[in-house]
């Protein structure tokens, strides 16, 4: 008999929750089949079968809190898969005429018109009866569902960010014409060479990285009475999944090329839906970018991703009338929002940082020349 145990949990995580059993007692399990999923406050871990056999018992039900290496169930590794024979088709025998009951004979002998009349009377009686016992229909149902461990962690972190920082948001807008033109001109060549589509995120990550170099305080955060500055840029990218918002990190984003950024973010998004991101991939980060525009958001105030001191919010690109060289023209515009901790970042610095991003995006050659 083999024990199905909670796997070794990532550093700083002491307990988990049984999220979902994929097998039930009596099910045959092959080696590496996922038996159960364990949810921590950061990631969902799959527990595969180390041996083939039959799951004989579940010791911890869904929703239970468990610790590292705790036994979740028992697997009989000596049991073999049982082949279930398909039952033969049932043969329906005809009842001989002599075995028909007297009651059935009586029903058969009643003239059809009398049957119809009796059924009509019975139906009327039933309808009158139903009027007295008709159930009261209601659409005011409620359902109480416990928050998942990941959702509770997200809620606590967001609440902490609003309570422990002097959060302020500054806004600007960017003309996306040049980026759209560049994407249209080079999207086929880019995809052919790198096997990945050219999106918006690589432009924004590049613009953010170059701006962070100019304004290092935006890339820093408070730790007690100290300010921690970083000589590198680890950019967290907010990714939505069915289990909640996760923020995997682009390590050393200042060293990455645009195709590397696009590939990494695509991989993050895919594995976020699968729930297969590692805790290490979502730890740390010095600056965050969140793209609410993919859901149609026109303007918002993003909440800080603690302990970071700033976050950039992207929004929906929309054609709007703007004044260019004293003329009103229609341009594809996007609102940008920078939320920051006023305890460490001054308003002037925040505004200049956001203008730096705006200028880099409106003139993408700046990203190549790094000016």
Q: What are the backbone angles phi and psi of residue 336, rounded to the nearest 5°?
A: -115, 145
Q: CA nearest 302: which of 227, 245, 361?
A: 245
pLDDT tens sequence for the chain (371 residues): 888 988 888 766 778 888 889 898 989 988 888 899 888 776 778 888 888 889 988 988 888 888 888 899 988 888 776 655 545 444 444 444 444 443 443 333 334 444 344 444 554 444 444 545 555 566 788 888 887 777 777 788 888 888 889 999 999 999 999 999 999 999 999 999 999 999 999 999 999 999 999 999 999 999 999 999 999 999 999 988 777 788 999 999 999 999 999 999 999 999 888 878 887 888 889 999 999 988 899 999 999 998 999 999 999 999 999 999 999 999 999 999 999 999 999 999 999 999 999 999 999 887 777 66
Beta bridge partners of 329: 322
Domain ranges in the chain are 2-76, 167-369
Beta bridge partners of 336: 172
Can you tell me the distance from the alpha carbon of 269 to that of 264, in angstroms, rounded to the nearest whole number? 9
SS (HEC) of the chain: CEEEECCCCCCCCCEEEEEEECCCCCCEECCCCEEEEEECCCCEEEEECCCCEEEEEECCCCCCEEECCCEEEEEECCCCCCCCCCCCCCCCCCCCHHHCCHHHHHHHHCCHHHHHHHHHHHHHHHHHHHHHHCCCCCCCCCCCCCCCHHHHHHHHHHHHHHHHCCEEEEEEEEECHHHHHHHHHHHHHHHHHHCCCCCCHHHHHHHHHHHHHHCHHHHCEEECCEEECCCCCCEEECEEECCEEECCEECCHHHCCHHHHHHHHHHHHHHHHHCCCCCHHHCCCCEEEEEHHHHCCCCCCCCCCCCCCEEEEECCCEEEEEEECCEEEEEEEEEEEEEEECCCCCHHHHHHHHHHHHHHHHCCHHHHHCC
Residue 12: the pLDDT is: 65
Q: Which residue has the tokens 């999220």?
A: 19
CB atoms within 10 A of CB 82: 9
Q: CA nearest 200: which of 286, 353, 312, 329?
A: 312
Residue 14: the pLDDT is: 76
Can you tell me the distance from the alpha carbon of 133 to that of 370, in angstroms, rounded to the nearest whole number? 78
Residue 116: the pLDDT is: 42
Q: CA nearest 57: which of 22, 17, 26, 21?
A: 26
Residue 323: the pLDDT is: 94
User: 250 and 234 in contact (C-beta within 8 Å)?
Assistant: yes
Can you tell me the distance from the alpha carbon of 96 to that of 201, in angstroms, rounded to the nearest whole number? 79
Helix axis angle, 347-362 to 177-194, nearest 10°? 60
Q: For strands 239-241 and 244-246, give the pairing.
A: antiparallel
Residue 298: the pLDDT is: 93
Exactly one of 76, 230, 346, 363 is catalytic; name it.
Answer: 346
Enter the CATH code of domain 167-369: 3.30.559.10
The verdict on whether 259 is a catalytic residue reads no
Domain 2-76 fold is: OB fold (Dihydrolipoamide Acetyltransferase, E2P) (2.40.50)
Residue 365: the pLDDT is: 81
The verdict on whether 230 is a catalytic residue reads no
Exactly one of 76, 127, 342, 363 is catalytic; name it.
Answer: 342
Written as six digits, the tokens of 68 are: 């590292």
Written as six digits, the tokens of 216 are: 């290092």
Can you tell me the distance from the alpha carbon of 15 to that of 59, in angstroms, rounded to the nearest whole number? 16
Beta bridge partners of 338: 170, 312
Beta bridge partners of 244: 241
Beta bridge partners of 178: none
Written as six digits, the tokens of 92 are: 């329906």
Written as six digits, the tokens of 45 are: 């871990």
Residue 81: the pLDDT is: 67
Flag whether the pTM goes above 0.75.
Answer: no
């Amino acid at each position: 008999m083999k024990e199905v145990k909670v796997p070794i949990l990532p550093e700083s995580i002491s307990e988990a929750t049984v999220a979902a059993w994929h097998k039930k007692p009596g099910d045959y399990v092959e080696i590496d089949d996922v038996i159960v999923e364990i949810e921590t406050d950061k990631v969902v871990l799959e527990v595969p079968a180390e041996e083939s056999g039959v799951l004989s018992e579940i010791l911890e039900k869904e929703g239970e809190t468990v610790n590292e290496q705790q036994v979740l169930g028992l697997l009989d590794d000596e049991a073999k898969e049982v082949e279930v024979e398909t039952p033969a088709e049932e043969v329906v025998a005809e009842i001989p005429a002599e075995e028909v009951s007297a009651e059935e004979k009586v029903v058969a002998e009643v003239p059809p018109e009398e049957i119809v009349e009796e059924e009509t009377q019975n139906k009327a009686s039933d309808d009158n009866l139903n009027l007295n016992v008709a159930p009261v229909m209601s659409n005011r149902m409620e359902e109480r569902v416990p928050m998942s461990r990941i959702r509770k962690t997200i809620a606590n972190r967001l609440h902490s960010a609003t309570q422990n920082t002097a959060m302020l948001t500054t806004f600007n807008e960017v003309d996306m014409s040049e980026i759209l033109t560049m994407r249209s001109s080079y999207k086929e060549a880019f995809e052919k060479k790198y096997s990945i589509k050219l999106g918006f995120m690589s432009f924004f990550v590049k613009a953010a990285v170059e701006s962070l170099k100019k304004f290092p305080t935006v890339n820093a955060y408070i730790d007690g009475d100290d300010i921690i500055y970083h000589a590198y840029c680890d950019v967290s990218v907010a990714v939505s999944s069915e289990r909640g918002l996760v923020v995997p990190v682009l390590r050393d984003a200042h060293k990455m090329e645009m195709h590397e950024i696009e590939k990494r973010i695509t991989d993050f998004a895919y594995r976020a839906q699968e729930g297969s991101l590692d805790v290490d991939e979502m730890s740390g980060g010095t600056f965050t970018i969140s793209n609410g525009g993919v859901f149609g958001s026109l303007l918002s105030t993003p909440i800080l991703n603690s302990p970071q001191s700033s976050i950039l919010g992207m929004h929906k690109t929309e054609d709007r009338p703007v004044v260019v060289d004293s003329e009103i023209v229609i341009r594809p515009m996007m609102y940008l929002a920078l939320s920051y901790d006023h305890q460490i970042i001054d308003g002037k610095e925040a505004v200049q940082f956001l203008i730096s991003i705006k200028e880099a995006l409106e003139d993408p050659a700046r990203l190549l020349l790094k000016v």
